[in-house]
Structure 1
């Protein structure tokens, strides 16, 4: 039953259309304030370990991981651009992922998809980390409204698994509402 969460693509279409003007504004700001592409694409681990590609508005320097490789994002990450800082605070950088919802790779609510290299690394330390893959990943999730970039991987895993174990349509609406509050006010966003 975990794969049948209520998630018609129509939500992705509606919210995707609504978000287009916001995406356009921030695409211009990104181009005017930093070098590199407007969009950032990255392969992530989707449902049951299937690879998916997510698209975000680029919030970090273009060469953010050139010297370090894949690293866990932090609260005051020095790789984040000034425009990116605002986008992350309000979650605007995530808006292009409505395309992934339309395609069926993601849902509105669920555990955020992680990179393969980080999933492997975290699984070595916390064997229950892959349990997050039992459902389709989401644009927002329980972990995102309870810590954002402040969360350590094991804390994120606990929150994601709590969400999965206690799923209900009402729970999804509550998470979506809390996410909207973060987008509008910036309160609680990290």
Structure 2
């Protein structure tokens, strides 16, 4: 299976916080998932921890390389820029990732949030999301039990799958 491509400074094990969430589900394909993830204005419809999504400079409504957008999540107002964008192509995983940041000085949080979606044999799709974080807020998040990043991203994955199944007229 494919893996996330990490930029320098955000490689897991060398950051202040890291989380990884994955689902593999039958009956969906990358093409079912991509429109829901690629259009940030849809996120709040299936992920309650994502609000106030806005694109800058007339960009959007879909992501693309260099697109700058903002949103609120985990209590942080986040500014973000899409730095990896590979739409679905048969036989290759779809990828999207953004660098996000919030705060200044001691409250500065920098993240790399990446998604990988790939079709598997047996009419299955794999959705992997991983995030690394740097900064004092990341250090605190890493200590929290239960881990809010793991739990929040699992909610995002489950909501994404449920929304895709609903779009196909199936129940989750």
TM-score by length of 2: 0.29
Structure with a larger share of its residues in helix: 1
Structure with a larger share of its residues in strand: 2
RCO greater where, 1 or 2, for CA within 8 Å and sep 6 or more? 2
